[in-house]
């Protein structure tokens, strides 16, 4: 691929870009491709980056319009005679000189200021238009520390609940679905197509549509307010069975016959031969299971009715309704909730592409 | 030992422990039942879960739809017949939602009828272009693939809050507009713009999923077909319409069916982003079910169940039709 162009091209940048085409210039389709991808990059990524950046802004900074790109905070100074630190302003005085003053209070279009270096000089009245707040770039990490402090132990609890549900549900999903997929791909038996259809038909049933009856069943099992009440209804995913079955169909039956000759039990064949061979498909099912369990909202909202069993998503939602305009905490919480998956994603995204490609969605 | 190897070893240990315990049990079962019945043993846990949490709820839903009152437990619900269905279809003029006794249902239905085709068209169109671009030999391909898939990872609540934060009156978008000299807009206050953004945000959030599936489909197209086209010096557009699209058709069909089903089921993002508003401009059919069954007092489980069964039937017919069509096109 990189056999030409790099040496020929004068400018290294153009050489880099055109190296793969084996020519010295990019053709129209390349320009269109890069244009589309860069536009996509902007639209896909800036919103998330913006929220993360905003989560480091102070409350005052968040309420500004138009919003500043970087997180700023106003500088303040302690002035003798005042309990609170006062915000600093660069002021153009009436005689044209500039000074750095501290604002005591604002009345209409005028502000009362005082010189922080020399409080004895008395108060000055300044028009608001003549004063510019003194600001510097600063990450307001107190959004995060406040968040953890205000929720106390609860935050750890939410993280634990989310992790527990995600891990346990994913493991059960993988074992259960691969068992079913094994039965449906490696055996011929009466009723196999009925079983396959009844499993796949559940793909058609929107979770919201069967919400009331699902709640009823969970309640009858005595699992309301219990993490297992969220785990059990979601473990048998039809897509998982389908993906795994399609993949297992490609595993040659001779392998299984050979193992039977050696008197391996069916379970041993499943666990020691078929399962390891299906690992790419298992990885895909695992990733999608982790994603949907971690992000699930509606079922936990209904089943997990006590604060102690809240997941991160529920906590995030209750944050939004409890503190109406506490955007500083809300944005920090949003970032925290999305963070673990973002990290996992960096490691896993290669497997997603490769895995989906090899699981035979055709 | 590296961290990754150590983690793999720990994970392997956790998973293998119950397996070691299961092995003698399953071997014993096989002795009693014989090989012929083993597939049912493998199927049993899954079938039980499917019946308990998918098929049984549907049956209970049918029961709910023909019973009244706001009680949850079936024994406390009196039989009312088809009253719930009659309520849904009680209209003097079906084209005018305000003449219906459950006008919200017809508004939600009308919204869904616009939302689904528009969203699916944009979703598949953009995902296809993205997949074609990401399939080319370009610099930073892995990086771009990662970026396009990234929003799929985010939870609906996070997606909705992110865009709410950007679209609000003092948000980033209005900030950019002000900077460009355009006056700010209350994006989520007007029905038309709110509808636009509800399509935009849901496409934004789910496009990556379909891009990956289409990408997988593109990669399964044999290279030599393209080589042959190159020999004949076919244009890019011709290659795309004559080779890529026809060979991608089966995958496109899967994507299309999945996309429609999920589009009809759209709920979480819009519930947090617009709450169905302004008015009922972005309320879709699933949110209607949620509102009637859970949000509005007294809870009308019967009406919600009737509406959800209707939705289920429509989806079933649609999917059946798609499968029939695909089978015909594969035979012919």
The ipTM estimated for the assembled molecules is 0.78
Residue B172, both tokens: 């980033």
Q: Do A295 and B155 touch (CB under 8 A)?
A: yes
Contact A104, A86 (CB under 8 A): yes
The alpha-carbon gap from A164 to the nearest alpha carbon of chain B, in Å, equals 14
Report pLDDT for A4: 38
pLDDT of A25-58, one tens digit each?
Answer: 667 878 888 899 999 889 988 888 888 888 888 7
User: Residue A200 above 70 pLDDT?
Assistant: yes
pLDDT of A295-305, one tens digit each?
Answer: 888 888 888 88
Report pLDDT for A352: 64
Contact B212, B128 (CB under 8 A): no
Q: Do B26 and A199 touch (CB under 8 A)?
A: no
Report the interhelical angle of A154-186 vs A192-201 (nearest 10°): 150
Contact A362, B220 (CB under 8 A): yes
Distance between the two ends of chain A, CA-based, in angstroms? 29
| Mean pLDDT value across residues A313-332 | 75
Confidence of residue A10 (pLDDT cuts 50, 70, 90): very low
Give the largest Cα separation in chain B, rounded: 80
Q: What is the mean pLDDT of chain B?
A: 84
The alpha-carbon gap from A361 to the nearest alpha carbon of chain B, in Å, equals 7
**Residues of chain B below pLDDT 50:** 332
Report pLDDT for A162: 92
Give the range among A3-17, A109-123, B276-290, B297-311 with minimum mean pLDDT. A3-17
Report pLDDT for A5: 39
User: Residue A231 above 90 pLDDT?
Assistant: yes
Q: Which residue has the higher pLDDT, A190 or B94?
A: A190
- HSE at residue A284, side-chain half, CA atoms within 13 A, is 27
Residue ranges of domains in chain A = 72-137, 143-358
Q: What is the mean pLDDT of chain A?
A: 79
Closest partner residue to B158 (CB to CB) among A54, A63, A338 is A338
Question: How much of chain A exceeds pLDDT 70, in percent?
Answer: 86
Q: Do B171 and A67 touch (CB under 8 A)?
A: yes
| Mean pLDDT value across residues A194-219 | 81
Question: How much of chain A exceeds pLDDT 90, in percent?
Answer: 10
How many angstroms separate the CA atoms of A157 and A307, rounded?
Answer: 9
Report pLDDT for B176: 86
Q: What does the DSSP 8-state code read for residue A23? A: S
Confidence of residue A169 (pLDDT cuts 50, 70, 90): very high
Report pLDDT for A25: 63
Give the global pTM.
0.79
Q: Do A37 and B166 touch (CB under 8 A)?
A: no
> Position of tokens 């059960």?
A172
Chain A partners of B171 at a C-beta cutoff of 8 Å? 67
Report pLDDT for B249: 86
| Mean pLDDT value across residues A319-335 | 74
Q: Which residue has the higher pLDDT, A242 or A9?
A: A242
CATH, domain A143-358, list 3.40.50.300, 1.10.357.10, 1.10.3720.10, 3.30.2290.10? 1.10.3720.10
Report pLDDT for A172: 92
């Amino acid at each position: 691929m990189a056999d030409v162009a790099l040496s020929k091209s004068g400018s290294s940048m153009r050489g880099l870009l055109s190296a793969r085409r084996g020519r010295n210039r990019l053709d129209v389709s390349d320009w269109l491709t890069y244009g589309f991808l860069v536009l996509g990059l902007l639209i896909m990524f800036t919103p998330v980056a913006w929220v993360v950046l905003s989560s480091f802004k102070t409350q005052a900074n968040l309420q500004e319009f138009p919003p500043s790109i970087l997180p700023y905070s106003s500088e303040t100074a302690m002035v003798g005679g005042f309990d609170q630190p006062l915000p600093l302003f660069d002021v153009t005085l009436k005689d044209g000189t500039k000074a750095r003053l501290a604002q005591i209070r604002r009345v209409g279009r005028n502000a009362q200021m005082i010189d922080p270096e020399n409080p004895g000089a008395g108060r000055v009245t300044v028009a608001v238009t003549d004063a510019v707040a003194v600001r510097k770039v600063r990450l307001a990490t107190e959004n995060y520390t406040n968040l953890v402090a205000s929720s106390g132990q609860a935050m750890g609890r939410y993280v634990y609940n989310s992790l527990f549900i995600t891990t346990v549900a994913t493991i059960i999903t993988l074992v259960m679905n691969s068992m079913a997929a094994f039965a449906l791909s490696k055996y011929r038996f009466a009723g196999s197509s009925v079983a396959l259809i009844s499993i796949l038909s559940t793909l058609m049933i929107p979770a919201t549509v069967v919400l009331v009856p699902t709640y009823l069943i969970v309640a009858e099992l005595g699992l309301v307010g219990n993490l297992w009440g969220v785990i059990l209804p979601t473990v048998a995913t039809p897509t998982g069975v389908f993906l795994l079955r399609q993949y297992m169909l490609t595993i040659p039956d001779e392998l299984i016959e050979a193992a039977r000759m050696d008197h391996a039990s069916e379970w041993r064949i499943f666990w020691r031969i078929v399962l390891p061979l299906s690992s790419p498909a298992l990885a895909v099912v695992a990733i999608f299971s982790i994603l949907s369990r971690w992000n699930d909202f509606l079922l936990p909202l209904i089943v997990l009715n006590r604060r102690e069993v809240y997941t991160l998503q529920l906590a995030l939602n209750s944050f939004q309704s409890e503190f109406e305009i506490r955007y500083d905490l809300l944005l920090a919480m949003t970032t925290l909730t999305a963070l673990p998956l973002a990290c996992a994603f960096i490691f896993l995204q290669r497997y997603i592409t490769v895995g989906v490609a090899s699981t035979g969605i055709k | 030992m590296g961290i990754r190897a150590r983690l793999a070893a720990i994970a392997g240990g956790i998973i293998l422990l119950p397996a070691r315990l299961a092995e003698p049990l399953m071997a014993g079962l096989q002795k009693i039942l014989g090989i012929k019945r083993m597939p049912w043993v493998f199927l049993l846990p899954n079938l039980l879960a499917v019946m308990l949490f998918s098929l049984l709820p549907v049956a209970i839903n049918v029961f709910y739809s023909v019973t009244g009152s706001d009680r949850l437990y079936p024994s406390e619900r009196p039989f009312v017949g088809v009253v719930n269905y009659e309520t849904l279809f009680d209209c003097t003029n079906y084209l005018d939602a305000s003449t219906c006794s459950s006008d919200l249902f017809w508004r939600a239905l009308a919204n869904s009828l616009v939302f689904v085709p528009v969203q699916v068209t944009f979703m598949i169109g953009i995902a296809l272009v993205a997949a074609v671009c990401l399939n080319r030999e370009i610099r930073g391909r892995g990086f771009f693939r990662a970026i396009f898939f990234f929003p799929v990872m985010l939870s609906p609540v996070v997606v909705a809050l992110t865009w709410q934060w950007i679209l609000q009156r003092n948000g980033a978008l209005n900030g950019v507009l002000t900077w460009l000299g355009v006056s700010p807009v209350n994006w989520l206050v007007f029905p038309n713009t709110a509808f636009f953004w509800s399509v935009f945000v849901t496409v934004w959030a789910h496009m990556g999923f379909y891009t990956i599936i289409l990408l997988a489909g593109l990669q399964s197209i044999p290279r030599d077909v393209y080589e042959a086209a190159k020999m004949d010096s076919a244009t890019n557009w011709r290659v795309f319409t004559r080779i890529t699209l026809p060979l991608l058709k089966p995958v496109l069909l899967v994507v299309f069916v999945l996309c429609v089903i999920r589009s009809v089921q759209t709920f979480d993002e819009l519930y947090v982003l617009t709450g169905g508003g302004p008015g009922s401009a972005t309320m879709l059919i699933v949110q209607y079910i949620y509102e009637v069954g859970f949000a509005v007092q007294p809870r009308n489980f019967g009406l919600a169940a009737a509406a959800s069964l209707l939705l289920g039937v429509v989806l079933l017919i649609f999917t059946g039709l798609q499968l029939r069509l695909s089978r015909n096109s594969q035979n012919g």
